[in-house]
A and B are shown apart, each in its own frame.
Chain A
Amino acid sequence: MTAPLLEMRRVVKHFPANGGMVRAVDDVSLQVAPGETLGLVGESGCGKSTLARLVMRLFPPSDGSILFDGTDLTTADRAAVAEYRSGLQMVFQDPFASLNPRETIGRILEQPLVVHRRGGRAERRDRVNALLERVGLRPEIAARYPHELSGGQRQRVGIARALILHPRMIVCDEAVSALDVSVRAQVLNLLLELRAELGLAALFISHDLAVVRHMSDRVAVMYLGEVVEQADRDSLWDRPLHPYTRALIAATPSTSPAARRRERLMLQGDLPSPIDPPRGCRFHPRCPLAQPRCREEAPALRRVGATEVACHLA
């Protein structure tokens, strides 16, 4: 096996909250190989964006280590971190909040090229315009400010900004959620092309399981701060082992509007509080198969065939 491009080892992130600690990410280990796309799915609030922010070093982990291309960023010097930053880029879940409101789109896109001394002025302009076009935006957008765009246009600016430096890996946090199906197809096709041509690796977070399936080589499923199952795409969809993964897949709506009125199997109950997660297996209060053991003993991730799963019953 090739050395991973990104490696998270037993990463923990706790946030202080009134009455305790939010265990947003709790002992997560993940790897992404060069050129690979790892999908990350799970209910709202399970810790996906926190994980993405940890990877980007927007805040330090409470525990554990994160290695990019073999360099541990918690201990690396400034030059190594700068290099890592240009090789690893992120598309944020809230596009507006991630764009500087006082800069034009052209300037926002050009800035990383200036900072990293890539190309002359004309070359930079060409790159900005070419990338705008690839995400379906007209060149006139470059003169506008972020508030003068639509939601989906801003999201595409975020994608273009993440790609402008030719990163080796991109973290996409709900990166296509504000796009209509045709523009979404255009952006996803662009990511697929960059993967095929330049070996772009990705951590791909989305609530849209059909999109995750289309884009990912492997998929990790999170529940309440923990990874509960991880497998290659086909194993995960054909033979999901964790009851939570099965529930997620069963609840996926058909993308075909005509089939939408069909009944779906919905997961019952709500995501428990991450401040005071259930003892034993965190999923047990909602699990249709729960046994007495599940209430007492937290299952560890273990290998079953091609899959890693944290369930006593798998």
Chain B
Amino acid sequence: MPLLEIRGLQTWFETRAGTVKAVNGVDLSIERGETVALVGESGSGKSVTAYSVLRLIEAAGGRIAGGEVLFDGTDMLRLDLASLRAVRGNRIAMIFQEPLSALNPVQSIGTQIVEALRLHRDIGLRAARERAVELLELVRMPSPRERLEEYPHRLSGGMRQRAMIAIALACEPDLLIADEPTTALDVTTQAQILDLLRELQGRLGMAMLLITHDLGVVAETADRVAVLYAGRVVEQGPVETLFDAPAHPYTRGLLDAVRIEELPPGSRLPEIPGMVPSLLALPPGCAFAPRCPRATPACDAGPPAMRAGGEGRLHACFNPWLSTVEGRVPA
């Protein structure tokens, strides 16, 4: 049984302009100790998926309109508030995308770590403070003991992010949801944090749902990757084979756009032309079709179903690119 299994998740927002269908039937599973990366265009539903797993989405104004989120066999969508609170920050912890808005502005970061610990663990104040220093050391906060008393707005962007990672790791969760955990970090600190997460996974069997737009980090860190587009998984599979031979034209566009260092400085960068469709009125067919170089009239008729591509790969596309390395042909 996977540690986390998301089935047909749908998360919607009611706005004055209509229903924003942010997540539209996401299927995803994560095994114990495994790292699954969730990538996709800005606004494609990565954070909303994460918030839905923890049921934080209601507080954010959203509604889970359908699906199941099974964590260790229990449906998170059916838990009462008390049981949810026992899971959040304890068995499932989250590193939020925007540290400054996730951290409490009127509490020192030391207090925030201590509270996270004491909420779920039977631990004295003194021991909790020592543990907080240890955690700040682990996430490479400079002068950790002195920083304990510091308030979020007095820290640099990267320090705030590390403070938040320390809070998330406080209770050694079974599942860590890391939403852009290293965007504010320099490459050296980023590598140290990724090493730390790997080490915890090895030692504690922690699983990770890693949300990032940094495909290099995905290649370095994840076992599997799922590509989201307009609230749907359009492709998933093991990182290496998927990056070597993307099947979905959207994935391929992403991988082509990444090559900044190979271009002359100051030159125009490759982008995927066009814009994501409105989530208020998704097209009846494939949501990527209007921007797709391989689209045919069939793509506009109905949504493509998820199909197996071999070697644990899945894609939802009528005209996928197929790996030519071994001369495989469409199924």
Interfacial residues, chain A to chain B (CB-CB below 8 A): 15, 17-19, 42-45, 49, 93-97, 133, 136, 138, 140, 143-144, 147-153, 155-156, 174, 177-186, 188-189, 192, 207, 209-211, 213-216, 233, 248, 251-258, 260-261, 264, 266-267, 270-273, 275
- Residue of B whose beta carbon sits closest to that of A273: B143
Q: Identify B43's interface contact among A150, A215, A255, A275, CB under 8 A.
A: A150
A275: B residues at CB distance < 8 A: 143, 146
- Residue of A whose beta carbon sits closest to that of B218: A257
Are B254 and A255 within 8 A (Cβ)? Answer: no
Q: Identify B216's interface contact among A44, A177, A178, A254, CB under 8 A.
A: A254
B267: A residues at CB distance < 8 A: 214
The distance from the CB of B203 to the nearest CB of chain A, in whole angstroms, is 22
A15: B residues at CB distance < 8 A: 154
Judge whether B61 is part of the interface by a CB distance below 8 angstroms: yes
Q: How far is the CA of A210 from the CA of B187 in the complex (A)?
A: 11
Chain B interface residue count, Cβ-Cβ cutoff 8 angstroms = 71
Q: Flag the segment in B68-76, B94-102, B123-131, B305-313 that touches A.
A: B94-102
Interfacial residues, chain B to chain A (CB-CB below 8 A): 13, 15-17, 39-43, 46-48, 60-61, 97-101, 140, 142-143, 146, 149-150, 154, 156-159, 180, 183-191, 213, 215-216, 218-220, 239, 243-244, 253-255, 257-263, 265-272, 275-276, 278, 280
A177: B residues at CB distance < 8 A: 183-184
B255: A residues at CB distance < 8 A: 257
The distance from the CB of B35 to the nearest CB of chain A, in whole angstroms, is 14
Are B269 and A189 within 8 A (Cβ)? Answer: yes
Are B187 and A180 within 8 A (Cβ)? Answer: no
Q: Identify A255's interface contact among B39, B101, B259, CB under 8 A.
A: B259
B98: A residues at CB distance < 8 A: 94-97, 151
Q: How far is the CA of A261 from the CA of B221 in the complex (A)?
A: 9
A184: B residues at CB distance < 8 A: 213, 257, 269
B60: A residues at CB distance < 8 A: 147
Q: How far is the CA of A251 from the CA of B189 in the complex (A)?
A: 10
Task: Kindly list the 8 A-B residue pairs having the minimum CB-CB distance in the complex, ordered from nearest.
Answer: A44-B158, A152-B42, A257-B219, A185-B269, A180-B213, A185-B271, A94-B100, A181-B257
B258: A residues at CB distance < 8 A: 181, 255-257
A271: B residues at CB distance < 8 A: 142
B265: A residues at CB distance < 8 A: 213-216, 233
A257: B residues at CB distance < 8 A: 215-216, 218-219, 239, 243, 255, 258
Are A174 and B157 within 8 A (Cβ)? Answer: yes
A192: B residues at CB distance < 8 A: 266, 268
Q: Identify A150's interface contact among B39, B42, B216, B257, CB under 8 A.
A: B42
Are B261 and A213 within 8 A (Cβ)? Answer: yes
Q: How far is the CA of A44 from the CA of B161 in the complex (A)?
A: 10
Given contacts A182-B253, A213-B261, contact A260 B216 (CB under 8 A): yes
A272: B residues at CB distance < 8 A: 142
Are A94 and B261 within 8 A (Cβ)? Answer: no
B253: A residues at CB distance < 8 A: 182
B41: A residues at CB distance < 8 A: 180, 182-183
Most interface-central of B99, B100, B263, B280 (chain A CB within 10 A): B100
- Residue of B whose beta carbon sits closest to that of A205: B157
B191: A residues at CB distance < 8 A: 251, 253, 264, 266
B146: A residues at CB distance < 8 A: 17-19, 273, 275
B272: A residues at CB distance < 8 A: 182
